[in-house]
């Protein structure tokens, strides 16, 4: 019997922490996990899951309009924010219960409290209780970054947006990343007047330029406004409770809500890591090696807190790799090449591998294939919205090194196509595959 209270103490029951806890326990470790908010973490409670449900809810606005072109008599419909919000929140609660059950089933001790690190093998709970563990796993995720400017306290973040009392008639969204663009699409479909405000001059950095341009074009056509190179000056609360948003280089904007989506920072503040000797990088992320081990050998970290790729499936893979390596005798490292990603905008984006610019820089000679088309459904619906698929091919080897898509169901199609990119298949392999007709995905094997 070990001298420690636990073999593993996990801080944070989010995507990475839950996976690591239950897998370590299934390998026979005595595991405790502390969670200061709700079991499930950002993805389940205030991220991917409630966001995607809102995206589905928002899409009905277009589907109901389009349905008329397909022969359905659709009366003018009214959208009820409170009903969708409450249904989404109760689904989140159901999932939270399932995550808790999984941990219970694996005999993981769940402590619903904040925990901090007080030594290489010691943690302290909020009530002062100190516990020891042979190993500690930091899986505390990230936290929305809100820039400081006068009145910034009137802003909300993705933490609060799922709980709004009413649908804002006018919403300003700060940021150009995927969360900003997803919520712009959601609120716009619900009928809010949306303005995206960006301190830089581009949206969705890291995505292929042509795809970003297409989303910008379509978003503007749908009525979303953009202000670029417009840092915040201040926010004033008006007597009627609304906000006046003052920006550099632009006229002020009146709004009922300001959603700040300007990135997420690693959640290490006040965690006691530096005092325990754990090295953090300049952004506060826990520095880890390929085995998720920090500069203190008994302390590990996975997920957003390490600021590698901030996505749920990556956090889950890291949690699994950690538990299998340390407690399962199966040394595993995560392969970060060709991680697919999506933007659940209207229409959505799916991408894997190198953008055209990255490939040109890295490989020199590349071949680019694109298909710019109007989905059959959009044609009949009279919806003048074009999809764009782009394939990036290494000219020397014929290998497909990147796929970038915007259009209906792009993330669903991209997930399957990502297998081919990950497997290193060539353009000739795509060409050899007979099209599945009629589909949008068939464009991928018909690129000329």
Ligand X SMILES: Cc1cc2nc3c(=O)[nH]c(=O)nc-3n(C[C@H](O)[C@H](O)[C@H](O)COP(=O)(O)OP(=O)(O)OC[C@H]3O[C@@H](n4cnc5c(N)ncnc54)[C@H](O)[C@@H]3O)c2cc1C
Which residues are annotated as catalytic?
437
State the nearest-atom distance from the C-beta of 25 to ligand X, in Å. Answer: 17
User: Which of 7, 17, 29, 334 is in the footprint of ligand X by CB under 6 A?
Assistant: 17
Structure tokens at 265: 């920072």
Residue 177 CB coordination number (10 Å):
18
User: Which of 4, 27, 48, 363 is in the footprint of ligand X by CB under 6 A?
Assistant: 48
User: Which of 195, 262, 312, 371 is in the footprint of ligand X by CB under 6 A?
Assistant: 312
Binding to ligand X (CB under 6 A) within 102-121 occurs at 114-116
Residue entry with tokens 């989905």: 375
User: Which of 9, 22, 24, 41 is in the footprint of ligand X by CB under 6 A?
Assistant: 41
Q: Is residue 303 involved in binding ligand X (CB under 6 A)?
A: yes
Can you tell me whether residue 104 is helix, strand or coil?
A: helix
State the nearest-atom distance from the C-beta of 302 to ligand X, in Å. Answer: 7
Q: Is residue 158 involved in binding ligand X (CB under 6 A)?
A: yes
User: Contacts by 118-124 with C-beta closer than 8 Å and gap 24+?
Assistant: 118/272, 118/275, 118/276, 119/276, 120/276, 120/277, 120/296, 120/297, 120/298, 120/299, 121/4, 121/298, 123/9, 123/11, 123/34, 124/272
List the Cα angle 48/219/385 in 5-degree steps: 105
State the nearest-atom distance from the C-beta of 111 to ligand X, in Å. Answer: 8
Q: Is residue 304 involved in binding ligand X (CB under 6 A)?
A: yes
List the Cα angle 126/118/306 in 5-degree steps: 95
Q: Is residue 141 involved in binding ligand X (CB under 6 A)?
A: yes
Q: Is residue 8 involved in binding ligand X (CB under 6 A)?
A: no
Q: Is residue 57 involved in binding ligand X (CB under 6 A)?
A: no
Nearer to ligand X, 62 or 304 (CB): 304
Structure tokens at 107: 């005999």
Radius of gyration of the chain (CA): 24
Q: Is residue 271 involved in binding ligand X (CB under 6 A)?
A: yes
- For residues 115 and 5, the answer to whether their CB atoms sit within 8 Å is no
User: Which of 43, 92, 278, 339 is in the footprint of ligand X by CB under 6 A?
Assistant: 43
Nearer to ligand X, 41 or 57 (CB): 41
Which residue from 318, 324, 290 is spatially nearest to 304, judged by alpha carbons?
318
CA distance 259 to 375: 32
Q: Is residue 34 involved in binding ligand X (CB under 6 A)?
A: yes
Q: Is residue 268 involved in binding ligand X (CB under 6 A)?
A: no
The residue of the chain with the least Cβ separation from ligand X equals 14
User: Which of 5, 22, 25, 47 is in the footprint of ligand X by CB under 6 A?
Assistant: 47
Q: Please provide residue 7's backbone torsions phi and psi, each rounded to the nearest 5 degrees.
A: -75, -35
Q: Is residue 139 involved in binding ligand X (CB under 6 A)?
A: yes
Nearer to ligand X, 16 or 402 (CB): 16
CA distance 210 to 217: 11
Helix H or strand E segment including 97? helix 81-105
Q: Is residue 181 involved in binding ligand X (CB under 6 A)?
A: no
Chain residues that interact with ligand X, rule: CB under 6 A: 11-17, 34-37, 41-43, 47-48, 51, 114-116, 139-142, 158, 179, 267, 271, 303-305, 310-313, 315
């Amino acid at each position: 019997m070990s001298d420690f209270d636990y073999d593993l103490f996990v801080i944070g029951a989010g995507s990475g922490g839950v996976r690591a806890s239950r897998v370590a326990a299934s390998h026979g470790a005595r595991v405790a996990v502390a969670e200061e908010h709700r079991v499930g973490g950002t993805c389940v409670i205030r991220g991917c899951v409630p966001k995607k449900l809102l995206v589905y809810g928002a899409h009905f606005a277009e589907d109901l309009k389009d349905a008329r072109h397909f022969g359905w008599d659709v009366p003018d419909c009214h959208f009820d924010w409170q009903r969708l919000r409450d249904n989404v929140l109760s689904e989140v609660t159901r999932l939270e219960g399932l995550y808790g059950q999984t941990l219970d089933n694996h005999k993981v001790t769940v402590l619903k409290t904040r925990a901090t690190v007080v030594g290489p093998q010691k943690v302290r709970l909020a009530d002062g209780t100190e516990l020891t563990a042979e190993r500690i796993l930091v899986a505390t995720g990230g936290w929305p970054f809100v820039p400081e400017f006068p009145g910034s306290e009137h802003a909300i973040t993705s933490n609060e947006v799922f709980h709004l009392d009413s649908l804002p008639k006018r919403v300003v969204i700060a940021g150009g990343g995927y969360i900003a663009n997803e919520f712009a699409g959601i609120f716009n479909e619900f009928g809010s007047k949306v303005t995206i405000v960006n301190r830089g001059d581009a949206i969705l950095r890291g995505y292929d330029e042509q795809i970003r341009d297409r989303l910008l074009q379509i978003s503007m056509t749908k009525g979303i406004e953009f202000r670029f190179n417009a840092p915040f000056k201040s926010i004033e609360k008006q007597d009627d409770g609304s906000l006046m948003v003052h920006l550099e280089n632009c006229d002020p904007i009146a709004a009922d809500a300001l959603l700040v989506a300007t990135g997420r920072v690693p959640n290490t503040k006040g965690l006691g890591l530096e005092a325990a000797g754990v090295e953090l990088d300049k952004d506060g992320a826990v520095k880890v090696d390929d085995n998720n081990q920090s500069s203190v050998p008994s302390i590990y970290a996975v997920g957003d807190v390490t600021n590698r790729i901030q996505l749920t499936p990556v956090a889950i893979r890291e949690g699994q790799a950690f538990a299998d390596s340390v407690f399962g005798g199966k040394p595993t490292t995560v392969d970060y090449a060709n991680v697919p990603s999506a933007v659940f905008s209207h229409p959505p984006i799916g991408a894997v591998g190198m953008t055209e610019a990255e490939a040109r820089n890295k490989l020199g000679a590349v071949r680019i294939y694109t298909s710019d088309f109007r989905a059959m459904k959009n044609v009949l619906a009279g919806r003048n919205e074009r999809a764009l698929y782009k394939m990036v091919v290494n000219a020397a080897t014929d290998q497909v090194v990147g796929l970038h898509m915007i259009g209906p169901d792009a993330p669903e199609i991209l997930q399957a196509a990502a297998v081919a990119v990950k497997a290193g298949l060539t353009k000739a392999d795509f060409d050899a595959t007979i099209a599945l007709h009629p589909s949008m995905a068939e464009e991928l094997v018909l690129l000329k």
